[in-house]
Amino acid sequence: MLVLHSVSLAALLAVLIYVVCFICRYRIIPQSLSVTAEYNGRYIWWQIMICTVMGWLGYWIPTVYDFNTYGYWPILASVGAAGLALAGYYSYSPDEESKHDMMIHKIGSFSGAVLVCLFYVACLHWWAVLFILAICALLGLIVPGCRYDAHYTRGYSISNSIVFWEEIGIIGIIGFDIVNRFISCF
């Protein structure tokens, strides 16, 4: 189990390093994590990182949470992680955004996030999950989010960053779970 939780911790660190490097490099808060793929040289790295991490979580969740105790919830969380990986792969391309790819991206993102959140609401402390997501939504309304857009004079358009902060909230919830399970190995 120590190896399993160590790999999970490494996956969590990969996401955090990606986000911190992006924010330090561009000095902006993006509208969402997938929007980071639009910036120069990030598209392939984004796809590799998100598909690998979410693919690992799709394995980790049903391995750590047994079906006798949690029923079918771990399967739903695995499907959610697969939806998020699919959404990351069909992310915003710097070359072109087809309606088909955007539809896959949006459906995968929304359904994946909902299923992962439902898993944590059903299987852990539901009030903590909802509180974290509410705080993240409030942050998203307050902090402006940017998206790269060559048509604007400054190179990006500004909107809210609700999706970004909600994604950070979900990463935080999953990360807290990963860290607790890693510590419990000792």
Please give the single-letter amino acid code of residue 106. Answer: K
User: Do 158 and 146 form a contact (C-beta atoms < 8 A)?
Assistant: yes
Q: What is the pLDDT of residues 152-180, one digit of tens each?
A: 555 667 789 999 999 999 999 999 999 99
The residue ranges of DSSP E strands in the chain, in sequence order, are 144-148, 156-160
Q: What is the pLDDT of residues 2-56, one digit of tens each?
A: 999 999 999 999 999 999 999 999 899 999 998 888 877 778 888 888 999 999 9
Nearest Cα neighbor of 83 from 49, 50, 112 is 112
Of 96 and 140, which is predicted with more confidence? 140
C-alpha angle 139-57-186 in degrees, rounded to nearest 5? 95
What is the average pLDDT value for the chain, to the nearest integer? Answer: 90
Nearest Cα neighbor of 155 from 145, 144, 146 is 146
pLDDT of residue 158: 78
